[in-house]
A and B are shown apart, each in its own frame.
Chain A
Amino acid sequence: MADSLYGAEQARGVWVWLEHDGQALAGVSLELLAKGRELADKAGEPLTGFILGHEAGSLAEEALSRGVDEILLGDNPLLKNYTTDLYCAAAAEAVLKHKPNLLLLGATPDGRDLAGRLAVRLRTGLTADCTNMEMKPEDPSLLLSEVTGFGGGIAAIIACLRHRPQMATVRPGVFLAALSAKKSGAELRRFSPSLEGVPRRVEIVKRSIGAEVDITKSKFLVIGGRGIRGDFGLLRELAGLVGAEIGASRVAVDEGWIGKEHMVGQTGFVTRPKVALICGVSGALQFTVGVASAETVVAINLDRSAPIFESADYCVAQDLFKVLPPLIKELRNSK
């Protein structure tokens, strides 16, 4: 077996890549810091938040109060916006210098773009979209990552036994961000990545960032699947009356009925609403992991034997097109 660029005996520290847009740290990065703290304590290793950017000092200060032992800030004008070549070069330089044991990244478009390339450059393993992570009790420097996707209610535990760093990505919403206070002695360290000679093969010429739909933060979700037959109108009307966001199964997204930012589940988002009202979704495991942390689940499905009812508190075995119109009427009347 070919080796990674450094070995387990040299590796130490839990690193979290802190993604940001220049204004704020990404939610998923804060979630990973909270989980990273827990893993670092189990492993008896320090927790480092790793930021790349330009003039990102205030973001680094903010991150410093999130329970880390250290923030490592790589600053360079070329790192103002994310581009693969430059970020990968800067990250590889820092990793090879400090040799962390773990490197965790958010499974956002840029996080996945970076992680996939960096893992190959470092010749190490990368686990995608972990739904849980723990340090192995008998060997607390080894990360055990849980991934679903094998279907049938099965999760696989993935480990990267010899190669370092142990890399993993996690989707937004899987872990909770703790409001942990600043750890005494937490330090901000800066470094200047040497980026001369790094090819710049991709140049950003335009960016358009709109208001982001973030279903992981909403308290009330109305979710539609194949059973709604392309018509989110009814669901939107209902959602409008109760201040809910719209969620969707993968089928509804793949059919092009709604954007991917609304997708609930393993490929989509893990949500934690107080109430999820789920209409015309069969209830595949890859979907239900996305609502497992909802406080109350209400499901409407024509088929009384649909698996979604195993994951629901209140079950309505009816045609959604017969139930939703009177429900909308009820809610409107009681406004």
Chain B
Amino acid sequence: MTENSGGFHTIVCLKVVPRPEEVVVDPQTKTLDRAKARSLVNPPDLNALEMALELKEICGGSVSILSMGPPFFEPYLRLAMSLGADRAYLLSDRTFGGADTLATTYTLAKGIQKIGKWDLALCGEESSDGATAQVPPGLAEWLDAAQVTYAFQMAPADQGRMRVRREVKGGWEELMVSLPAVVSVKGNVNEPRFIDFDRRRWALNDSPVTVWSAADIGAQADLIGFPGSPTTVAGVRQVGGRERRKQFLEGTPEEIARELARLLKTQAGSR
């Protein structure tokens, strides 16, 4: 289960994100304090993993997990292996910190090149924290691979290609995609499977998680972390929405309904 011994090889890029409702803002520094927030696997990444596992059932081969992040990500990678992935790679180094999407995609691409032969790299459509959706296209560019974003269906086709449907503005399109390709998968497109209890022991204790530093993947110091990131946070500010009336309507539901009906008709009257 551990060796990448040929066959169709899918790499699933998985990010661990803080639970949105638990991230607090430090009132003094106005920066994010994620230390107190619990984490979870970015939800659409589990849809990407499910898609990879379904492809593995058809094409054979194996599924690897790749993540860039601090050491505490490791249990989440093991969770992915208890769902069916074969091995995981964690790119972890203090110098990766502060990466914007240019530095993040460079680092992930170096990780994929170090892993070696691959056919398909699957990502979630976007993360629930940074939420830029810039990682999949950027990764494809560094790897000089084909790219598809917002995919919701994928199946093997002729000549080693994939038939993929992606969402576009107001509809969808069907694509024939040459491999290798980086594909981002929409959230909720499938039902991620439950933990496989036969794999759980193996996944939690013995499954292979390879941790690589910047030196291990041969990353150039000026392309990773803060130095490799052209964007910077130049400041923060409190966003006050506009002042609203905040007037409570009191009474029985019927009384309120009558008042609301009147309000809605006058407010929207000139539509």
Query: Do A and B interact?
Result: yes
If A21-B169, A156-B236 touch, does A151 touch B32 (CB 8 Å cutoff)?
A: yes
For A1, the chain B residues whose CB sits under 8 A away are 222, 227-228, 230
Residue count of chain A within 8 Å CB distance of chain B:
103
Question: Is B149 an interface residue when CB atoms closer than 8 A count as contact?
Answer: yes
B231→A327 contact, CB < 8 A: no
For A316, the chain B residues whose CB sits under 8 A away are 248-249, 256, 260
A151→B230 contact, CB < 8 A: no
For A88, the chain B residues whose CB sits under 8 A away are 141
Stretch touching chain A among B4-12, B84-92, B99-107, B113-121 = B99-107
Question: Is A267 an interface residue when CB atoms closer than 8 A count as contact?
Answer: yes
A125→B231 contact, CB < 8 A: yes
A residues 220-264 near B (Cβ < 8 Å) are: 220, 242-244, 254, 256
Partner of A209, one of B126, B140, B168, B181: B168
If A201-B146, A203-B175, A317-B248 touch, does A161 touch B232 (CB 8 Å cutoff)?
A: yes
B245→A313 contact, CB < 8 A: yes
Question: Is B133 an interface residue when CB atoms closer than 8 A count as contact?
Answer: yes
If A159-B234, A160-B231, A312-B246 touch, does A129 touch B137 (CB 8 Å cutoff)?
A: no
Question: Is A334 an interface residue when CB atoms closer than 8 A count as contact?
Answer: yes
CA distance A330 to B232 in the complex (A): 53
CA distance A4 to B102 in the complex (A): 11
Question: Is B111 an interface residue when CB atoms closer than 8 A count as contact?
Answer: no
Interface string of B227-246 (1 = CB under 8 A from A): 11111111111111110111
Partner of A159, one of B175, B231, B241: B231
A201→B149 contact, CB < 8 A: no
Q: How would you classify the secondary structure of chain A's contact residues: helix, strand, loop or mixed? A: mixed
Residue count of chain B within 8 Å CB distance of chain A:
87
B256→A207 contact, CB < 8 A: no
A2→B234 contact, CB < 8 A: no
If A2-B228, A124-B230 touch, does A331 touch B261 (CB 8 Å cutoff)?
A: yes
CA distance A297 to B238 in the complex (A): 21
Question: Is B65 an interface residue when CB atoms closer than 8 A count as contact?
Answer: no
| Nearest chain B CB to A308 CB, angstrom units | 10
B169→A242 contact, CB < 8 A: no
For B134, the chain A residues whose CB sits under 8 A away are 112, 115-116, 119, 126, 128
Question: Is B15 an interface residue when CB atoms closer than 8 A count as contact?
Answer: no
B268→A202 contact, CB < 8 A: no
Q: Show 10 residue pairs from A and B whose CB-CB distance is below 8 angstroms, ordered by the A residue.
A: A21-B169, A88-B141, A124-B102, A126-B102, A154-B25, A154-B237, A202-B147, A209-B170, A312-B245, A323-B253
| Beyond known contacts A163-B230, A304-B248: 6 more, CB 8 A cutoff | A21-B170, A117-B138, A126-B132, A151-B24, A206-B174, A208-B173
Binding site for A on B (CB under 8 A): 20, 23-25, 30, 32, 43, 100-102, 105, 126, 129-138, 140-142, 145-150, 163, 166-178, 181, 187-188, 220, 222-223, 227-242, 244-249, 253-254, 256-258, 260-261, 263-265, 267-268, 270-271
Binding site for B on A (CB under 8 A): 1-2, 4, 19, 21, 26, 81-82, 84-85, 88, 108-110, 112-117, 119-121, 123-129, 144, 146, 148-163, 199, 201-212, 219-220, 242-244, 254, 256, 266-267, 274-275, 277, 284-286, 288-289, 292, 295-298, 304, 309-319, 322-323, 326-327, 329-331, 334
